Amino acid sequence: MRLGIRKTFKILAPGNSLRKRVAYSLAIARFILVPVILLAVYYLFEMGWIVDRIVNVDAPAATLAQRASIEILEARRAERNYLLLHEASYLAANRESLGITRQIVSQIQELEPQDMGETQKALEALGVYEQRLSTAVSAIGQPGQADADRIQAVVRAYEKDLNDLLRVANLKRRAQLIEELRNRVGSFDTQISETVQAGNPALAPVTADLQTSSQEVLGLLSELETENWKRVENDHREARRLMRSAEWALTIVSAITLLFSVWVSFILPRQVVKPLISLRDAVDHVAQGNGAVDFEIAGRGEVAELARSVQHLIARLQQNA
């Protein structure tokens, strides 16, 4: 005859019901994921705003300022040609370049309202240049014959000077060569101005004022260009900072989410599976006829209720036996 052994099984089901624990776990997981989504959306909008400002405001404004500087240089070239040759086509070209420059500066005003002071100064300096050019045109009076011999002599000397410089170009550094070329161009402008003034002494103060006005316009446009490129660089640095902040923030929150999910995947199944295994062992013990069983049930919830129901069932079976 087989001897039965009475055995005690502990059914520990801590915490609330399984359904509530699952609901709490999912709520916490969602609560952690919400900052991830919000941070991603925030950084996405910030990056989009910065890129939009670079593409549609700062870079176009800097490019427009550069174009305006080129137009001013074209206007100065046409001005010098007109003062030398007294041809109306050069005067028309000068006024066309000035008109384009004025339009470009107005476009910069629309793009960058914070540069209103600089753009207004540029427009005022442009107006002064136009007034002084009108004065120069009046001083010239009726179209006449320019001093061709003097002009040709200046051009030949300039050409010889450039040829001499190019012969030794290979022996000079690039920066030094560019600087010397700029000096040669400035010297040529000065000599041409002196030639014009020698032919018409009344133009002497006017040409000096024209050069001063054009240099002022160029300086203001150069400041606008530099300022807008600085904004592009600042926006680029801000974008890189946002990228680093996004990487750190999203990495930290993602790591917290991962750790929480790992903790839930270990703790929650253990709290559910372990009491179920104990309950299965108790049922197997009784089914194999190894003796009576006692239950020590702790906790509440679905697993604890199931253990009590099995306890009542086994007790009733043992009584009927």
Provide the pLDDT for residue 185.
Answer: 61
Q: How many CB atoms lie within 10 A of CB 248?
A: 10
- Per the model's pLDDT, the better-predicted residue between 119 and 277 turns out to be 119
- Per the model's pLDDT, the better-predicted residue between 197 and 244 turns out to be 244
Q: Do the beta carbons of residue 88 and residue 179 sit within 8 Å?
A: no
pLDDT of 192 over the 70 cut:
no
- Per the model's pLDDT, the better-predicted residue between 312 and 14 turns out to be 312
- As a whole-number percent, the residues of the chain with pLDDT over 70 amount to 68
- Per the model's pLDDT, the better-predicted residue between 77 and 99 turns out to be 99
Instruction: Read off the pLDDT of each residue in 263-282 and give the average, rounded to a whole number.
Output: 72
- Per the model's pLDDT, the better-predicted residue between 258 and 267 turns out to be 258
Angle between helices 116-140 and 203-287 (to 10 degrees): 160
> Among 296, 295, 298, which Cα is nearest to 271's?
298
**pLDDT tens profile 130-187:** 888 888 788 775 444 445 556 666 666 666 776 777 777 677 776 676 667 666 666 6
Provide the pLDDT for residue 99.
Answer: 92
Instruction: Read off the pLDDT of each residue in 58-76 and give the average, rounded to a whole number.
Output: 87
Instruction: Read off the pLDDT of each residue in 39-44 and give the average, rounded to a whole number.
Output: 80
- As a whole-number percent, the residues of the chain with pLDDT over 90 amount to 4
Q: 24-28, 54-58, 139-143: which range is least confident on average?
A: 139-143
Q: 5-9, 167-171, 192-196: which range is least confident on average?
A: 192-196
- φ, ψ for residue 201 (rounded to 5)? -60, -25
